[in-house]
Amino acid sequence: MKRFVNDPKDFVAEILTGIARANPDTLRYEPKYNLIVRADAPVDNKVGIVQGSGSGHEPAHVMNVGPGMLDVACPGDVFAAPPLDYVLAAIRQVATDAGVLLLVNNYTGDRMVFEMAQEMVEAEGIQAQLLFVDDDVAVQDSTYTIGRRGVAGNFFVIKAVGAAAEKGHTLDEVRAIGERVNANMRSIGVALTACSPPAKSAPLFDLAADEIEFGVGIHGEPGRRREKLRTANEIADDMVDMVVSDKPFKPGSQVALMINGLGSTPISELYLLYGHAHQRLASKGIDVARSYVGNYCTALDMAGASVTMLELDDEISSFLDAPASTALRIF
Amino acid sequence: MKRFVNDPKDFVAEILTGIARANPDTLRYEPKYNLIVRADAPVDNKVGIVQGSGSGHEPAHVMNVGPGMLDVACPGDVFAAPPLDYVLAAIRQVATDAGVLLLVNNYTGDRMVFEMAQEMVEAEGIQAQLLFVDDDVAVQDSTYTIGRRGVAGNFFVIKAVGAAAEKGHTLDEVRAIGERVNANMRSIGVALTACSPPAKSAPLFDLAADEIEFGVGIHGEPGRRREKLRTANEIADDMVDMVVSDKPFKPGSQVALMINGLGSTPISELYLLYGHAHQRLASKGIDVARSYVGNYCTALDMAGASVTMLELDDEISSFLDAPASTALRIF
């Protein structure tokens, strides 16, 4: 597998260095603990929003730091939870009297380190609450989880809790809005190819030239079924139907629809999927009121896409529409 | 090659349908001529900005339509210039008394159709001027060009002429700012893999597992040299040096630095390249005042990246900073 890499052990640090150099006025990089921190953190009287997880999912979550989003991101190595002392350092950097919310995708390794960190910072007098994201409908328990996995819907939780914190809501209120967003959303992903970590020269799993993995996880872990490649419309229909029936999303509901790329799928194909998914939802009487098309949570260089749907109400919509600013920008 | 596709002959139309469904209030799709048009076009008293080119470079240029950017995009089939009657329809949709600027990347096929279109619409009484983009320093003449190719720097030209038009500048003034941006910028790209059009099952060219194409074109056409894969830092150094020495960019100058993905390279690797390129420029005394990291102009599913540098002055910076809005957004 060819990629732009130097020594693989420097991969994460070099990505973070690039993010900081591209955003010198708004973000800072703490090399000792591999943190990307909002430059003006801690922000007085505002709940601090913390996320940690493995690397390899960029832009999640190191490129989601900034006003209205995360105060700090604490990445581990590729597909590995961050070390406990790094998580503690992250929390201490952004903690205020308003407390901190620890946002964790539901993977056993990440849960373990964040649950320990919560106990330890509380002993220091920092008020800290946990919020677990588990939007993936593919499997109940999985290779790395008890319960469902947290995937691309994580973006919506960050957006909502980030906006609520910025508006001055209390820690209890911020966590409550995050839990409501998590409860309101569902995701599923499909891989066309496997992914390859920088330190390995081979893909993490094998997919034949005519096979796809339906319900794949964002570390390449198995999904619901291995099947033959079909047309984009057939795949989109299956993804939409599985997401809709799980919640279930009902006729008349208003949703945000995200088509997320898993790493190496061109944006052209994501829009092609979007167009058909939108039509499928219209035929079910579901109104797509907001659209998100692009790479939000990836699995290194995996080719594939995921569908996330979030049921909207006025409060959630207002948090999605609130101003935010991160490393990710076009202009 | 696996991708999300239905019948390949519908590929472009289905992408455009997706773009329009995701942006119902701001864009419209004209299926008869494959156009993406700003919903409020023509905008009275504003110079209309038109671009056409082959498809397969998304987000360029169909996702660059909106206030402060293009008024209309007219894509051809994958890697093929749009038909003359489509270009004429595009121009007529956005023409005003202020005239239209026809923005063309310097490829022989695109030039030919736009030069004919200019003559024809002028005969109809539409004031139309041409502007050719040719930022690629890799080769002088190439497979598809006489003179240099137009690549990712096209984004900066659109941004500047779009802002100037929005501010009410005349057609002569808008073209002059576009020409100055084009003269002030240089680009070069490197491919790690070839690309595969949807209608083909094989890559357009062959690269061995340990080879890269230095100076590749955005249709997979040959570059300056075929060479062995090296570290990301070594590749970034060579790209930066080639761009800097061509103009040349001098110590003390202020630049915008773009690291553009060619289609299937993860954003993590683009930031890794950015971090090192930024350092290389600092060592030469060149000040990176603005950063652009992401996919701006791609070659389908090619893995690779390009470097674009644009020398800034107060006027160009003000146009880069002007508000703009397109299909591309994170939030």
Chain A partners within 8 Å of B235 (Cβ): 4
Measured between CA atoms, the residue of chain A closest to residue B207 is: A2
* B266 interfaces chain A, CB cutoff of 8 Å: yes
| Residue of A57, A61, A169, A276 marked active site | A57
The Cα of B294 is separated from the nearest Cα of chain A by a number of Å equal to 8
pLDDT over 90 at B264, yes or no: yes
Please indicate whether, in this complex, the C-beta atoms of B271 and A11 are within 8 angstroms of each other.
Answer: no
* Whether domain B186-320 has CATH 3.40.640.10: no
CATH class given for the domain over A10-184: alpha beta
Q: Dump pLDDT digits (tens) for A195-225.
A: 999 988 788 888 999 999 999 999 988 888 9
Every domain of chain B and the residues it spans:
10-184, 186-320
What whole-number distance in Å separates Cα of residue B56 and Cα of residue B236?
25
Q: What is the pLDDT of residue B213?
A: 95
Q: Dump pLDDT digits (tens) for B286-305.
A: 999 999 999 999 999 999 99
Interface ipTM? 0.97
Q: What is the pLDDT of residue A206?
A: 87
| H/E segment holding residue B35 | strand B35-38
**Residues of B known to be catalytic:** 57, 219
Q: Count of CB contacts below 8 A, A vs B?
A: 199
| Residue of A61, A169, A219, A276 marked active site | A219
What whole-number distance in Å separates Cα of residue B130 and Cα of residue B181?
15
Chosen from B207, B271, B297, B302 to mutate, greatest number of chain A CBs within 10 A: B271
* B193 interfaces chain A, CB cutoff of 8 Å: yes
Chosen from A260, A272, A325 to mutate, greatest number of chain B CBs within 10 A: A272
| H/E segment holding residue B261 | strand B254-261
| H/E segment holding residue B311 | strand B304-311
The Cα of A2 is separated from the nearest Cα of chain B by a number of Å equal to 6
Q: Dump pLDDT digits (tens) for B92-147.
A: 999 999 999 999 999 999 999 999 999 999 999 999 999 999 999 998 877 787 88
Q: What rounded mean pLDDT belongs to chain A?
A: 96
